Amino acid sequence: MRDSNPRNHSAPSAPGLPVGLQAIREFDTCTITNAIEQFGVRLRNEGFTRPGLICVTGGFPTLLGYAATCRIRSADPPMTGNRYLERTEWWDAIGGLPLPRIAVIQDLDSGTGLAACVGEVHAAILKAFGCEGVITNGSVRDVPGVQALQFPMFARSVSVSHAYAHLVDYGGPVEIFGLKIQSGDLLYADCHGVVSIPAEVAAELPAAAAKIRARERRIIEVCQAPDFSPEKLRRVIQQPD
């Protein structure tokens, strides 16, 4: 259990989301994950990324939005076409999703650690199409320039070159660090990783998270009190919510 309120006060609100869903940003991904558990809608070892994903643009930003998915390859040249940017049909698919959006890019060759799938130019394009940031299992680049755009990049690593990065398909299922994502899934990301928000309980999560935070705060306050005792800790832990 944890006291969790590391909000990034400089993070913009997410346009297009109902106020109830906006309130998710008042909590970190860990607390939201705990809140999801209260509803029993999925197994506790599902619905979140495994270790290895980092925010390479620095700080403690949060991303909340609907997944705009695509898959790329980067180790070998494409069969047809040339560069990643020339495949503009993905733009129409992005524009069909509700706001706010998050670009979610699975690099099918990410094991090579070879190529950057997003840099400053592509970040500017994605932001123009309503994406708040990008999540990828691959690499990214142009970190200072993208940071200046206030476009968080959650990735495996950085790479100097885009090599042969090219679009394979878009709008279908992807997998990022063990998290299976469908186009349009509501995602929440911060320094801990990414959690998928189940639509059927999304509106109820802020209230459930607030109760969890209050209970954790009571426990922490007992632990930090000058008159701490095991009995007091036991009583507060055993108190009903």
Instruction: Read off the pLDDT of residues 30-73 as tens digits, 9 standing for 90 and up.
Output: 999 999 999 999 999 999 999 999 999 999 999 999 999 999 99
Q: Which residues of 92-129 are buried (b: 16+ CB within 10 A; e: fewer)?
A: ebbeebeebbbbbbbbebbeeebbbbbbbebbebbbeb
> How many Å is the Cα radius of gyration of the chain?
20
Residue 157: what pLDDT?
A: 94
Tell me the percentage of the chain whose pLDDT exceeds 70: 89
- Alpha carbon distance 138, 80 (integer Å): 22
Tell me what the pLDDT averaged over the chain comes to.
Answer: 90
Residue 112: what pLDDT?
A: 66
Task: Measure Cα distances from 14 to 155, 188, 215, 234 in Å.
Answer: 21, 11, 28, 40
69 HSE (CA, 13 A, CB side): 19
Q: Are strands 101-107 and 131-136 parallel, antiparallel or unpaired?
A: parallel
pTM of the model as a whole: 0.89
Residue 9: what pLDDT?
A: 35
Domain map (residue ranges) of the chain: 47-196
Residue 63: what pLDDT?
A: 97
Superfamily the domain 47-196 falls into: Ribonuclease E inhibitor RraA/RraA-like (3.50.30.40)
Residue 27's pLDDT band (cuts 50, 70, 90): very high
Q: Helices (DSSP H) in the chain: which residue ranges? A: 19-22, 29-37, 89-95, 120-128, 143-148, 205-224, 230-238
H or E, element range at 64? strand 63-73
The yes-or-no verdict on residue 123 having pLDDT over 80 is yes
Residue 19: what pLDDT?
A: 80
Residue 78 DSSP symbol? -
Residue 175's pLDDT band (cuts 50, 70, 90): very high
